[in-house]
Amino acid sequence: MSNGSFPPESGRRGGTLAIVLAALIPACCVAFWLLSSSPGGSKDDDADGGSGSTAPSTPSATASPSSGKPLQGKVVVIDPGHNPHNRDHPSQIARLVDIGTNKKECDTTGTATNSGYPEASFTLDVARRVRSVLEARGATVRFTQDGDRPYGPCVDERAEIGNEAHADAVVSVHADGAAAGQRGVHVILPESVRGGDADTSAITTPSRHLGERLLDRFVQATGSEPAQYIGDGSGLDVRGDLGGLNLSTVPKVFIECGNMRDAQDAAQLTDPAWRERAGRGIAQGITDFLNE
């Protein structure tokens, strides 16, 4: 084959191949035209993972932009109780502010476990976990503070932040500082009060609904029991002396996630895995309320 010529047998096969190709090309063209003109026969349909069916594709409900976003369009304000820097500003947080029915301190330092884990650190950690879940579900989440303020905000400003956001729900995250041996979670609901700038008449019912959903989901997520040392043992407590509730014009509750002064509760509150469950429980309670 040094001269580049084919042996006789190869020449015969080459000629036969040319004849076969000449016969097949028109048939292939016809087949290609039929396939491309049939419904669902384009390559783009198969590129999306189709099974090769020739049925025309139709948009499904799950393909909408809000798919998997049950809280799209909802605004939630999370109020992490206290502030890690409050202890450095005693005079500022001690000043009195108007809560409608009377006057109270701007804020406090909060409590801590016997080992020194501050309530303010706990509330921020849990609040951030709640935010992650809610944002993944499409909600717009705002904080009253994110450890980025020198102190506070004061309780009246905390309420105003929720009001100005026109929040669909506000949850203030706390942990209690009761006596050792007193355990469990409880949710504080606004009492119907009216005085000065305080008027909770429009929010008491929806706030109760929010509180009930919150308590139920928190107990499911964490295994905690409703606190027996406060209220009637239901885990729900109604109060009219908290500025954050009195001055709210949108549904709002406080959740006391456990007692930092009890060794068993403190062991949970200081456990990151438990705080993750707590955050998810709070987020699910809010989700249930907003989807009612």
Cα 130 from Cα 286, distance rounded (Å): 10
Q: How far apart are the first and last CA of the chain?
A: 85
DSSP summary character for residue 40:
T
232: Cβ contacts below 8 Å, ≥ 6 apart: none
Annotated catalytic residue within 119, 157, 256, 292: 256
DSSP state of 7: P
Question: CB neighbours of 119 closer than 8 A, spacing ≥ 6?
Answer: 81, 82, 110, 111, 112, 174, 175, 177, 260
Tell the residue number behind the tokens 């905690």, with chain if given: 224
256 is catalytic: yes
Question: Rounded to whole angstroms, how far apart are CA atoms 140 and 189?
Answer: 23
CA distances for 175 relative to 22, 181, 189, 258, 278, angstroms? 85, 15, 15, 5, 12
- The structure tokens listed for 214 are 């919150």
- 252 phi and psi angles, rounded to 5 deg: -150, 145
Residues with a known catalytic role: 256
